[in-house]
């Protein structure tokens, strides 16, 4: 029996900025089904320039799907997603959602970077080449300049001594730090980080989180959206945390408030699992 779904009231903690005059990203009533499974039932969300946002919620609640749509890796079933006021998708006359034309998509995608759970480095290229190929080929950066920038960035992620290594000579944590450097070097307006430490051995999680923490603090103009279960990290780096539950954003607020004073039973139950 299909239960009629009623959109729950979103709980916004005091002092939380949830809308912007000029948002970087805007989801408007975004829904997503996979066949009969309704994963997202109506997401309204704005992200500001430079904002550091963390998405929390149970496994399978749609966090990855939500950010993959920004990368155009998933198509919404309905609703609108905008970056800098421009839609990623076009609605046709018969109500079908189709990608905008290739040139437009390419332009939109260049504003977004993503770091995945699995590092996705090019295995046949050195660390340095992994970091310079896209700036040179996609952005047209001068090769010497790209190399210089890559070396600087690899210093920041503490990988400067490994620039001539190949990915299979690196630990998981080292590969992930290279993947982070590579993504930041493309200078996206928004960087998506999807559970980037969850495939790592526990002893490597800290080094990756430390590097991310530094980048989050230094890259003031780059918005970052984290999907993570590392709540101490989220508390430290986030401007805002949103909690997704049963297809909706149920609660959002500043980290201290969300993590110390959850209002809904669902968020209380979710957080109690981490104690």
Reduce the DSSP state of residue 55 to 3 states and report it. Answer: strand
For ligand ADP, which is the closer residue by CB, 68 or 109? 68
Instruction: Please state the closest distance from residue 93 (CB atom) to ligand ADP, in A.
Output: 27
Reduce the DSSP state of residue 143 to 3 states and report it. Answer: helix
Instruction: Please state the closest distance from residue 167 (CB atom) to ligand ADP, in A.
Output: 25
What does the alpha-carbon distance between residue 125 and residue 134 come to, in Å, rounded to a whole number?
12
Is 245 within 8 Å of 56 (Cβ atoms)?
no
For ligand ADP, which is the closer residue by CB, 41 or 52? 41
Scan residues 10-69 and list those touching ligand ADP (CB under 6 A).
34, 37, 39, 57, 59-65
Please give the angle made by the CA atoms of 197, 64 and 179, to the nearest 5 degrees: 40
Is 155 within 8 Å of 183 (Cβ atoms)?
no
Q: What is the DSSP string of 100-131?
A: --HHHHHHHHTTEEEE-SS----TTS-HHHHH
For ligand ADP, which is the closer residue by CB, 67 or 128? 67
**Pick from 14, 64, 68, 47: which is nearest to 253 by CA?**
14
For ligand ADP, which is the closer residue by CB, 195 or 207? 195
Q: In the beta sheet, which residues pair with residue 9?
A: none
Instruction: Please state the closest distance from residue 249 (CB atom) to ligand ADP, in A.
Output: 13
Going from the C-alpha of 135 to that of each of 38, 86, 110, the distances in angstroms are 38, 24, 11
Instruction: Please state the closest distance from residue 37 (CB atom) to ligand ADP, in A.
Output: 6
**Pick from 177, 130, 134, 145: which is nearest to 158 by CA?**
177
Number of residues that bind ligand ADP (CB under 6 A): 11
Binding mask 215-244 for ligand ADP (x = CB under 6 A): ------------------------------
Instruction: Please state the closest distance from residue 56 (CB atom) to ligand ADP, in A.
Output: 9
For ligand ADP, which is the closer residue by CB, 25 or 56? 56
Instruction: Please state the closest distance from residue 245 (CB atom) to ligand ADP, in A.
Output: 10
Our finding on whether 99 is near ligand ADP (CB under 6 A) is no
What does the alpha-carbon distance between residue 104 and residue 81 come to, in Å, rounded to a whole number?
14
Instruction: Please state the closest distance from residue 228 (CB atom) to ligand ADP, in A.
Output: 11
For ligand ADP, which is the closer residue by CB, 32 or 147? 32
Instruction: Please state the closest distance from residue 248 (CB atom) to ligand ADP, in A.
Output: 13
For ligand ADP, which is the closer residue by CB, 68 or 147? 68
For ligand ADP, which is the closer residue by CB, 64 or 132? 64
**Residue numbers of the site for ligand ADP (CB under 6 A)?**
34, 37, 39, 57, 59-65
């Amino acid at each position: 029996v299909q239960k009629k779904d009623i959109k729950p009231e979103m709980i916004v903690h005091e002092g939380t900025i949830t809308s912007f005059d000029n948002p970087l990203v805007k989801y408007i009533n975004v829904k997503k089904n996979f066949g009969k499974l309704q994963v997202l039932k109506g997401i309204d969300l704005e992200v500001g320039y430079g904002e550091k946002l963390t998405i929390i919620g149970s496994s399978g609640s749609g966090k990855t799907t939500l950010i993959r749509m920004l990368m155009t890796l998933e198509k919404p079933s309905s609703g609108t997603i905008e970056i800098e006021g421009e839609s990623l998708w076009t609605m046709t006359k018969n109500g079908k959602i189709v990608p905008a034309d290739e040139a437009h998509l390419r332009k939109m995608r260049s504003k977004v970077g993503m770091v995945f759970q699995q590092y996705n480095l090019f295995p046949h290229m050195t660390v340095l080449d992994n970091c310079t190929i896209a700036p040179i080929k996609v952005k047209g950066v001068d090769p010497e300049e790209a190399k210089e920038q890559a070396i600087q960035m690899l210093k920041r992620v503490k990988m400067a001594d490994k620039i001539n290594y190949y990915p299979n000579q690196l630990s998981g944590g080292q590969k992930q730090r290279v993947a982070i450097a590579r993504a930041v070097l493309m200078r996206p307006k928004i960087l998506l980080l999807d559970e980037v430490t969850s495939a790592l051995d526990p002893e490597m999680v800290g080094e990756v989180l430390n590097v991310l923490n530094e980048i989050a603090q230094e890259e003031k103009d780059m918005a970052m959206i984290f999907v993570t279960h590392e709540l101490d990290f989220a508390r430290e780096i986030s401007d805002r945390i949103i909690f997704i539950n049963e297809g909706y954003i149920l609660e959002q607020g500043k980290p201290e408030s969300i993590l110390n004073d959850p209002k809904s039973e669902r968020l209380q139950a979710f957080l109690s699992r981490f104690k």
